Structures are given as structure tokens and as C-alpha cells.
Chain A
Amino acid sequence: MLAPDRTFARRDTALFILCVALSVGALFAPETWQFAMASSARSTALAPLIALQRRAESSRTSRARFDVLTAQRDSASVAAQSLPVLLDENHQLRALLGLAERLPRPLMSAEVLHQALPTDGRTLLLSAGRQSGIVPFQAVVAPEGLLGFVLTAGSTTSVVLTWAHPDFRASAVTLDGSVTGIISVTADASIREPMLELRGVPYRDSVPAGTAVITSGLGGVYPRGLPIGTVVGVVRQSEGWERVYLVRPAAAPARVSHVLIISAGTVWPGQAPPEDSLP
């Protein structure tokens, strides 16, 4: 039997209470302290382990992943075939309107280092940080669509707050631009992923199921046009005021392996031109 000695039992209890007290303290500590503690642990004691995982992620070459990447490359090739025509059209229209050329800004890529906790999809650890040009509040996208934004950036790693986090909000609009609202996660999850809800849609507007929802570009974090998901149906409605729609997300944080980070100030085709460039 354990604890034959009362001194040992007291020591066990004291150590347990101390650990619980420290854990509760960490749970309710100010956010800046939490980020600082997590970041310093990642850049010191955990750095070799993260490097080990980064190496494992980059050398992972399963057949299934190869097939997924091949399919994505094929889709991108098909989409790229119409690009020269669009670029030419865009160039001519800009010349007609007297608009300046778009400034090219690089996109940064990173690998996702998944962890074992059940809350892993709410935040994601990326294999790139400040050394690669990543700073907080940059938008993060997967091949399928919006994932979230950079919450903190260390020297070699960064943390993304995804749409699955309860604190996530984004300004959204339907693809045709007729209905706007705010996107956030909902407790109404599917077996594979949590779901999103589009709030603040005026009662007079109705959005049919299957409508694509994209970022509106308002707020300054997400550029306009990033796919968020597809409307599934109405979740609830406040009579005479608003409807809340259930949205199936485009990207799955728990399964994504590679992401792109959009550097701040990247100009996208759908984004409004700066006021001083208008004639």
C-alpha cells in the first residue's frame, strides 16, 4: 500500500495543492502573462522538441498526403489557366481608370505542428515565426479557405487563433455581396468539425442554403474574398430583427497540415483601391 508514512502523505498533499494552486493561477492570469510564459517555454525548454516535430512534419511523405497535394496542384493548375486572361483584363481596366498597379507582397508558408490536446484545433502552432516575417494579426489561410489570424509570434514559432476558438470573430459577406454579418463559432458541431454561425443578418434578408460566405475585408485583419464556408440553414431568428445562419466551414483546423500567412497590407483583387488613387 502507498503512504505508510504520514510525513510522505503530507508532502504529497502539499505538493498536489501547490500544483493545483499554480495551475489555477495560470488559468486566471492576465493574457499577456500567459502568452509570455508560453512563448518563453517554446523558445527555451521546448525548442528542441519543437525542432524535432518540425523535422518529422517536413519529412512526412505518406501516400495519402501525396495524393491530396497532387489533387490540390491539379485544381490550382486548372484555375491558373484562366489567370493570364484575367490579369490582362485587370491591367487594361486599371489603365482605363488610371489606377496604380498592385504592390506584390509575399505570402509566407508554414507547417502546422498538431498537438494531442482536444483543444488543438482552437489554436494551432506553426513552424515559422518572426524570423520568417510573421507578426501578430496577419490572416492565416488553408488551401480551402480562412483559418484565423496570428495570435502571437515567437522567433521560430507562432500561434494561430482559428475560427474554432470562442473568441474568434470576422466580418463576412455572401459571395454576391448582398448580405453582411459577423462570423463566429457555434456550439452546434458536426461529427468532423465545429460549425460556424453568421450573425447579425437583417430579418428582411434571407440567405438560401448553399450560398458561399467570404470575408468582407472590413476590420483590417482579413482581406476581402477569403472563403469562409457555405450556408447550411437558419439556426435561430429574433422576430422582426435578425436571422442567424449555420455555416459549414471551408477549412478544417484539426486536419490542416500546411497554411499560408498573408502579410499585412497585401492587396487582393477584390479589395477597394486606396482613395488617393481614384481619379
Chain B
Amino acid sequence: MSAAQTRRIRFSLVMLLLVGLQFYVRPRLGNPRVAPDFLMLGLMIFAIRSRPGAAAFAGFLIGFASDALTPARFGAAMLANTLVGYAAAWGRAVFFADNLLVNAGFIAAGVWLRDLLVLVASGASGKELLIQLGVWSPLLALTTAVTGVLVLAIFRDWLDIRLEE
């Protein structure tokens, strides 16, 4: 087995682990509004090491799954995740995010931006939008970013992401 194949298999295993965590562990982590979003974390990690087109497509697929499970405004998550995935892949090229904390901020920003896009596309407005974006989304972004730091620190070799020592 070539090194490239091994890297691909390892990366797929980490992505599968995140999917498993989303559906089996996340429900046990207390308030669902602030428990880390492992699917979004997976998308951001995928976007960090992928081309923008692939990241946009991954975002589209994750958004489709999210919309099927929360059809409050079908298509909103698809659009939001596509835009976030594409922007994250380009953003990686701009920021050279080799630092663990920069990666954490990058993940948090992606989660918050996704929430903003979903809420706007769903027609949220007024105080509800402000509270969601000012309280709940930052908390969700924070927990997801902290989880992201842990995942990147544990699986940095498997994920093939270069980080400063």
C-alpha cells in the first residue's frame, strides 16, 4: 500500500470517527445548542487540506444531511455549508493556518458564519437573530473549536496537517 493510500485511509477514518461522534456522543453532551458540532468540525478540517471545489461539494453534502434532519428551511444549510466550505478552503491559502490556535479560530469562525447564513436564509430577524448570533452561536463555535484543537492535536499525523511546534 502506497503512502498516499495510507494517508487517505487514515483521513477517512478520522472523518468517520467525527460522524460517529456527532450521532452517538453529541446527544449525551448536554444542551444540544452548545454541544460541539462534529460534522461542521469535519467539514472545516476537510476544507483546510482540500481544494475549494471539493470543500464546497463536501459542504453541500453535509448541508443536505443537516437539512434532511432539520427541515425548518430546506436548502438553507446546503447553501450555508457550501459557502463556508469554499471560503474555508480559500481562507486556508490566505492565512497559512499552521498554528493550532489560528486553526481553532478558523473553525470557530466557520461555525459562526454557518449559523449566520442559515438564520438569514431561514428568515430569522430581530431579537431572536441577535440572541442566537450573540449568545448561542459563539458558545457552539467555542466548544467546536476546543474539540477541533483536541482532534488536530491527537490526529495531526493522520490528518496530514502541518502545525507549528
Contact = CB atoms under 8 A, between A and B. Distances in A.
Contact of B27 (A34, A38, A45, A53): A53
A2 B52 contact: yes
A56 to B, nearest CB: 4
Nearest to A192: B131
Q: Which bracket fits the contact residues of A?
A: 35 or more
B66 A115 contact: yes
A38 B71 contact: yes
A1 B93 contact: yes
A188 B51 CA distance: 42
A119 B28 CA distance: 20
A25 B124 CA distance: 20
Contacts, number: 186
Contact of B57 (A8, A19, A60): A19
29 contacts: A2-B52, A3-B52, A13-B53, A14-B53, A15-B53, A16-B53, A16-B56, A19-B56, A19-B60, A19-B82, A24-B75, A26-B74, A26-B78, A27-B74, A27-B121, A35-B71, A35-B74, A38-B67, A50-B23, A56-B26, A60-B27, A113-B69, A115-B70, A116-B22, A118-B140, A122-B73, A125-B69, A189-B126, A189-B127
Interface of A: 1-3, 8, 11-16, 19-20, 22-29, 34-35, 37-39, 41-42, 45-46, 49-50, 52-53, 55-57, 60, 62, 113-120, 122-123, 125, 151-152, 159, 165-166, 187-191, 194, 254-255
